[in-house]
Amino acid sequence: MADVFVSYARSDEPQAERVADALRVLGYEVWRDDELPAHRNYADVIEERLRSAKAVVVLWSAEAARSQWVRAEADAARAAGTLVQALLDGNIPPMPFNQIQCADLGGWEGDSDAPGWKKLVKSVAALAGDQRVKEQPARRKTSVCVLPFQNMSGDAEQEYFSDGISEDITTDLSKVSALEVIARNTAFTFKGQAVDVCDVARKLNVSHVLEGSVRKAGGRVRVTAQLIDGATGGHVWADRYDRDLTDIFAIQDEISKAIVEALKIKLLPQEKKAIENRGTTNVDAYNIYLMARQYWMTGDFGDRRREDRVIRLCKRAVEIDPDYPQAWALLGLAQANLHYAYSGNEGLDDGLAAAERALALDPDIAEAHLPKAWHLALHGRIEEADTEIATSLRLNPDCWEANKEAARIHYRQGRMDDAIRLLEHATELAESDFHSLGMLTACYLAKGDLDRVRDHAAKMAPLIQQVLLRDPDNGAALAFVALAFAALGDFDRARNYIERAILLDPDNLYMRYNIAWPLIAFFKDKDAALDLLEPALARAGRNLVSLASADRNLDPLRGDPRFDEMLSAAVERVGLSAPKDASPPAATSAPPRS
């Protein structure tokens, strides 16, 4: 549960948001009622959050003093000894709250040195613990956030291209040592929103914000970009590029160098060279790779058509440019995933050759170590697999693929804490990645931490429902939304999604496997879980069989003759070997905490 509960009147929401964001920067988990889940009674949720909070920050104003909700929340906090008060407009709180000290936040705009803010933070620290308060990292004087460029092509299918341009410019600028750049995935949390650039700069504590748009039609592309001063909102630099699509790399180089020049930063020779190195100089190969990566990130996990499509696209990209390391690395990862997914796929390429090709072209490419890690882990060579994982994460700690794939491997080894740490980061790196969020929920379920299971389920359900609007037969999404609603106690909706999933995508083995989790943990229906698992394990490759062998969420089935027989047959069929250099995971999981 959250450390801090923020109580406020509706008209004071902008100030409440500013206070909540500033407390989060200091390391606190903060809750306010903009996070009310759609499936629960709001009064019950507020009471639950209020009762569990270590500190309750009440923001008093004239309207707050008239609000029965704010007064009731303040009274509950006063009785619990968790009340922290702040004045927003100079109006004195109603009795008896006028007898308690208040921090003055009148006119506060987020200044961490303001006396009123320091007073509030000190009170919160006294209640929620000083160890939670961290010094906000001092940003360099010059820092920038690259907002996702808008897709102006009139075709939603071109979104992958505008996203790729934004990513590449972010990557280019991050190579400049004198410039601090906000991570792509943090910037992408603003995607699709009408934002005030100064608000973005304040929230992220950056000096400048870059925004722009991309229009791609036929063989032409138009890119607009503008660099804005985060403090004043004034334009520092702006330009428009209307050229042939083959000039896209030159456009990106020019934008990055123009920003560096506008910010009066000296670009070192090696930095200039790094900016100009994109892995390929062929725009057709680049375009196809961007498309492949979009399918890899957003496709239906467990449906082999995702891997088939990514492999086909990457093969075309490296056919156009045989020296394109990023395309080789993604090809290797997709091939490894498909090779180990299903029984009968053993004759398919396992991705090792593509991975080695990528590393020969670029020894610093993190993703290329992942097919090797999967190969080693699924052949019981755990220590060597760990070395590949460590290398991948050292080369790029913010690589989404590295964090997610490493977590999947650790889950199969029963290393839940390691998997959780990596999945938490993966969900930060790609906030639309419901699959990592679902795995994270499964990790906490395996640990018996039902509070965190419910917290993550509440985040996952609305995210997946948006996915299903676009992709209604996505088997992975259907399985995880069923898990989410079961965890939240909405069994009718969970059951409806389970039935829909099996009807629409019965051959998705991973979907069948993932549906077994809620059937076991929440429906207590072992027979239904076994009915789903039996055909899945009969056709599964090493990947899924290794998961079933170690998965603590299947522990209630162990000892059942039917389950033990089907798992034993699967292990023998795929030739799964025991780990050579790691202890087996614990046989049982901790009992759930309700």
Statement to judge: residues 438 and 566 lie in one domain:
yes
Would the pTM of this model clear 0.85, i.e. be above it? Answer: no
Looking at the fold, whether 41 and 165 belong to one and the same domain comes out as: no
Does one domain contain both 252 and 106? no
Are the C-beta atoms of 423 and 404 separated by less than 8 Å? yes
Of 225, 181, 227, 235, give the one whose Cα is nearest residue 204.
181
Distances (CA, A) of 318 to 150, 268, 335, 337: 28, 31, 14, 19
Distance between CA atoms of 9 and 70, rounded to whole angstroms? 7
Closest CA to 85 of 66, 105, 108: 105
Residue 234 lies in a domain: yes
Is 128 found in the same domain as 154?
no
Is the residue at 24 inside a domain?
yes
Please, what are the averages of pLDDT over each run of 10 residues along the chain (594 residues)?
A: 83 88 82 62 74 89 88 87 88 82 85 85 82 44 85 77 83 77 77 82 86 85 88 84 81 81 68 64 86 83 86 95 94 92 78 95 92 92 93 88 93 91 85 85 94 90 86 91 94 95 92 95 96 94 92 95 95 75 39 34
pLDDT value of position 488: 92
Q: 160-164 long-range CB contacts below 8 Å, 24 or more apart?
A: 160/290, 160/291, 160/293, 160/294, 161/214, 161/216, 161/287, 161/290, 162/213, 162/214, 162/216, 163/188, 163/290, 163/294, 164/286, 164/290, 164/293
- On whether both 589 and 513 belong to a single domain, the answer is yes
Shared-domain flag, residues 212 and 119: no
SS3 label, residue 232: coil
- Please give the Cα distance from 248 to 169 (Å, whole number): 11
Mark which of 132, 151, 168 sits at the end of a domain.
132
Helices vs strands, H then E, count in the chain = 26, 11
The answer as to whether 110 is a domain residue is: yes
CB atoms within 10 A of CB 479: 31
Asked which of 278, 303, 338 is the last residue of a domain, the reply is: 278
- Rounded Cα distance between 573 and 414, Å, is 22
Report the pLDDT value the prediction gives residue 445, as an integer from 0 to 100.
Answer: 95
Question: Are residues 151 and 127 part of one domain?
Answer: no
The domain in which residue 528 lies consists of 432-594
- The CATH number of the domain holding residue 230 is 3.40.50.10610
Contacts for 297 with CB less than 8 Å, ≥ 6 apart: 400, 430, 432, 433
Which of 132, 160, 192 marks a domain boundary?
A: 132
CATH value at residue 485: 1.25.40
| Six token digits for residue 13 | 């929401």
Q: How many domains does the chain have?
A: 3
Write down the residue that tokens 């990130």 correspond to. 297
The answer to whether residue 400 is domain-embedded is no
CATH number of the domain to which 63 belongs: 3.40.50.10140
Residue 554 corresponds to which tokens in the numbers above?
């299947």
Tell me, yes or no, whether 345 lies in a domain.
no
Alpha carbon distance 199, 192 (integer Å): 16
Reading phi first (left if > 0) and then psi (alpha if -120 to 50, else beta), residue 448 is in left
Q: What pLDDT, on the 0 to 100 scale, is given for residue 133?
A: 40
- Distance (Å, whole) CA 2 – CA 53: 6
Question: Quick check: is 239 in a domain?
Answer: yes
pLDDT (0 to 100) of residue 582: 39
Residue 403 tokens, joined: 């964090």
Q: What are phi and psi of 268, to 5 degrees?
A: -70, 155
Q: Residue 337 falls within a domain, yes or no?
A: no
**Residue 511 sits in the same domain as residue 557:** yes
Angle between helices 526-539 and 542-550 (to 10 degrees): 150
Distances (CA, A) of 330 to 28, 145, 326, 351, 577: 37, 27, 6, 9, 27
- Which one-letter amino acid corresponds to residue 35? E
Q: Beta partners for 140? A: none
> Are residue 562 and residue 506 in the same domain, yes or no?
yes
- Looking at the structure, tell me whether residues 118 and 174 fall in a common domain: no
Q: Is residue 386 part of a domain?
A: no
**213 φ/ψ angles, rounded to the nearest 5 degrees:** -150, 160
Same domain (yes/no): 487, 557: yes
| Cβ proximity of 429 and 400 under 8 Å | yes
Does residue 115 share a domain with residue 14? yes
